[in-house]
Amino acid sequence: MTENQLKKLVRLQSAGEPVGIYSVCSANEYVIRAALAYGRAQRIPVLIEATANQVNQFGGYTGMTPADFADWVYTLADETGMPRGNVILGGDHLGPLVWRGEDAAAAMEKAETLVAQFVSAGFQKIHIDASMALGTDLTDGAFSHELIARRSARLAVVCEKAWEKLGASVHPVYVVGSEVPVPGGAMEDELAVTGPEQFRRELELFFRCCQQVGVDLENIVGFVVQPGVEFTNDTVHPYDRAAAAELCRAKRDYPGIVFEGHSTDYQPVECLRQMVEDGIAILKVGPALTNAAREGLFALEAIASELPGVECVSFRAALVAAMKENDSYWKSYYQGTPEEVAYEMCFGMSDRCRYYLNTPGVQQAVSGLISCLGEREIPLQLISQYLPQQTARVQQGALRPVAQELLLDRIAECCREYHYAAGEMGKLGFL
């Protein structure tokens, strides 16, 4: 049986090597293409994760089942020249999240189907998250850390059975626990770091419940903590190493796991590196990547407007129109005057516009913009003006000055920062 690369990560961390991995949490084609191309060029594995909201047995908001998502990512890997063996698929917040308003029995039954489908589709990293109250959990007094752990163990058993039936050579690994607050949600004045005793208590509870149902604890490799990072529409709360020191010292008592940090988007690269050095070895990034794609597309639209004889469909106009047509993904996030809301819709760091990038009208506008510019070589002056970070790479001959490649490289900027933070990712293996 082939060893799961995330087990290699744990082993390196336990040996004192500051190696991590970043998780690409996106269902955007350009983001995934950029991440795969960067991984191929650097000869590092690429971890791509889908959430239960994005992808589930009913299609999620992407319209894809776990099998659909896996097939799609592997197709993009083939097109970018990335060997499939270097793509690690992960499922994020897998549990009853999507059905938390239903009664517990119904929600957990759907959660079981969800995790089984992810494992059956070949996903190798499974974040089991049963942290949310279901139906009448709160009113009947049943909800507790014990209940969360028992439900998580129940889902782990389902995963194990699905893997045995699949007969895959790589055994999935599990991450447990969940961060609070919701990524990109409201940030308190002082963001509370997970307490060391809370971490120990909850991890031991997960371990005990999993042992009771026969789940091998060696396959539990990660625990989600709040290391003190978060972002809002216009603010980033950077990692404070001193504030997280006690938590990180507590992890040393558990050499078989690493911490997983959510909402690491927009962190200064030095903070990301410190997180990996401190044992927060799995760095989740999503909105920062789709925001980079949005910035790149805005830049290409501006470039097109400067070129004589070029007329393209407006991506920005199509995006705003789609968001106004359906405000369910952003209305609770953007407050203020109409002018302030209009600004946040396009530029808020919570990047709620990511939910609209796959809608038909927006996709058509993106394709139209890329096709409109085509293989035309964009003048260096315009690249310098609107995509300044790409200028040097064009001058060095490392990047062709054409629309799609400029866009992918703008997204890859984010990958480069996370790769630096994650250190020698090549040690995880490249097939």
pLDDT digits (tens, 9 = 90+) for 46-87: 999 999 999 999 999 999 999 999 999 999 999 999 999 999
User: Looking at the structure, do residues 215 and 253 belong to the same domain, yes or no?
Assistant: yes
For helices 360-373 and 287-306, the axis angle rounded to 10 degrees is 50
Question: Are 22 and 47 a contacting pair, CB within 8 Å?
Answer: yes
Judgement on whether residues 111 and 198 belong to the same structural domain of the protein: yes
Q: How confident is the model at residue 397 (pLDDT cuts 50, 70, 90)?
A: very high
Cis peptide before 83 (omega within 30 of 0): no
Q: What is the pLDDT of residue 186?
A: 42
Rounded-to-integer distance, Cα 217 and Cα 257, Å: 10
pLDDT digits (tens, 9 = 90+) for 333-363: 999 999 999 999 999 999 999 999 999 999 9
303 and 186 in one domain? no
409, 396 in Cβ contact below 8 A?
no
Q: Is the pLDDT score of 137 beyond 80?
A: yes
Task: Say yes or no: 207 and 100 in one domain.
Answer: yes
The rounded distance, in Å, linking the Cα atoms of 118 and 89 is 9
pLDDT of residue 1: 85
182 and 134 in a common domain = yes
Give the whole-angstrom CA distance, residue 99 versus residue 58. 12
Task: Determine the pLDDT at residue 185.
Answer: 42
Phi, psi values for residue 110, rounded to 5°: -70, -35
Q: In this structure, what token pair is assigned to residue 182?
A: 């919701």
* Same domain as 160, residue 13: yes
8 A C-beta contact, residue 287 and residue 265: yes
Q: Is the pLDDT of residue 181 over 70?
A: no
pLDDT of residue 190: 56
Do 77 and 226 lie in a common domain? yes
Q: How many CB atoms lie within 10 A of CB 345?
A: 19
Reported confidence tier of residue 177, pLDDT bands at 50, 70, 90:
very high
CA-based end-to-end distance of the chain:
15
* pLDDT score of 142 more than 90: no
Q: What is the CATH number of the domain that holds 315?
A: 1.10.400.20
Same-domain status, 200 and 274? yes
Mean pLDDT of 187-194: 69
Please check whether residues 41 and 98 belong to one and the same domain: yes
List the CATH number of the domain containing 249: 3.20.20.70
Q: Judge contact between 287 and 308, C-beta under 8 A.
A: no
Domain ranges, residue 376: 291-411
Residue 86 Cα distances to 4, 74, 314, 428, angstroms: 11, 10, 36, 10
* CB-facing half-sphere around the CA of 310: CA atoms within 13 A: 21
* Average model confidence (pLDDT) across the chain: 95
Q: What is the pLDDT of residue 422?
A: 98
Burial status of residue 324 (CB atoms within 10 A of its CB: 0-12, 13-18, 19 or more): exposed
Q: Tally the domains of the chain.
A: 2
Tell me, letter by letter, the H, E, C secondary structure of 240-278: CCCCCHHHHHHHCCCCCCEEEECCCCCCCHHHHHHHHHC
The residue whose two tokens read 């952003």 is 330
Q: Looking up tokens 């793509």, which residue turns up?
A: 87
Class of residue 67 by CB neighbours under 10 A (exposed 0-12, middle 13-18, buried 19+): middle
Question: Does 398 lie in the same domain as 336?
Answer: yes
Q: 293 Cβ partners below 8 Å, 6+ apart?
A: 28, 30, 31, 34, 357, 407, 410, 411
Residue showing tokens 């866009």: 407
Q: Do 302 and 277 belong together in one domain?
A: no
pLDDT band at 136 (very low <50, low <70, confident <90, very high): confident
Q: Which two tokens stand for residue 319?
A: 């995006």
Q: Which of 138-142, 234-238, 323-327, 351-355 has the lowest average pLDDT?
A: 138-142
| Residues 194 and 324 placed together within one structural domain of the fold | no
Q: Which residues contact 235 (CB under 8 A, 6 or more apart)?
A: 187, 349
Cα–Cα distance between 123 and 115 in angstroms, integer?
10
